[in-house]
Structure 1
Amino acid sequence: MNTLPETILQEALSLPEGGVLSPKEFLHLGSRSAVDQAFSRLARMGKLLRVARGTYSVPVSSRFGQRAPAVEKLIKALAEQSGEIVVPHGANSANALGLTQQVPIREVYLTSGKTRKLQLGRSEVLLKHAPRWMLALGARPAGAAIRALAWIGQTHAKTSLTSLHRTLPASEWQALIQARATLPGWMAQAIGKEAARA
Structure 2
Amino acid sequence: MASVADRITQRVAERGPGAWVCTPGDFLSLGSRDAVDQALSRLVKAGKLRRIGHGLYDMPRFSGVLNRPAPADMDAAVSALARRDGVRIMPDGLVAANRLGLTNAVPAKASYITDGPSRTLKIDGRTVRLRHRRPRIMQWAGRPAAPVVQALEWLGPDAASDVQVAATLKRRLPDEVKHDLGRNINDVPGWAVPLARSIVSGQAATA
Q: Which residue of 2 aligns with 1:59?
A: 60
Aligned amino acid, residue 168 of structure 1: L
Cα drift, residue 90 of structure 1: 0.8
Q: After superposition, what is the alpha-carbon deviation per residue over 1:100-121, rounded to whole angstroms, capped at 9, x for unaligned?
A: 2212222223345665666442
Q: SS of the residue aligned with 1:125?
A: strand
Aligned to 1:184: 189
Alignment of 1:20-59 (within 5 A): 20-27=21-28, 30-59=31-60
> Normalising by structure 1, what TM-score?
0.67
Query: RMSD across aligned C-alpha pairs, in angstroms?
Result: 3.9
Give the equivalent residue in structure 2 for 1:71.
Answer: 74
SS of residue paired to 1:169: helix
Scaled by the length of structure 2, the TM-score of the pair is 0.65
CA deviations over 1:149-181 (Å, ceiling 9, x no partner): 21122343322xx22322233866676466443
Which residue, 146, 156, 159 being the options, matches 1:156? Answer: 159
Cα distance in 1 between the residues matched to 2:114 and 2:40: 26
* Cα drift, residue 137 of structure 1: 7.5
Counterpart for residue 147 of structure 2: 144
Q: Provide the rounded CA distance (Å) in 2 between the counterparts of 1:29 and 1:114.
A: 30
Indicate which of 110, 125, 128 corresponds to 1:125.
128
Distance 1:80 1:31 in 2: 18
Give the Cα–Cα distance (whole angstroms) in 2 for the partners of residues 169 and 145 of structure 1.
Answer: 11
Amino acid at match of 2:33: R
- Structure 1 residue identity aligned to 2:69: Q
Runs of 4+ in 1 over 6 A off after TM superposition: 77-84, 192-195
Identity fraction in percent? 32
Structure 1 contact 18–73 (Cα < 8 Å) conserved: yes
Aligned length: 191
Q: Is the 8 A contact 1:18 1:71 kept in 2?
A: no
Distance in 1 separating the partners of 2:30 and 2:147? 42
Contact 1:50 1:56 in 2 (8 A): yes
List runs of 5+ in structure 1 lacking aligned partners: none
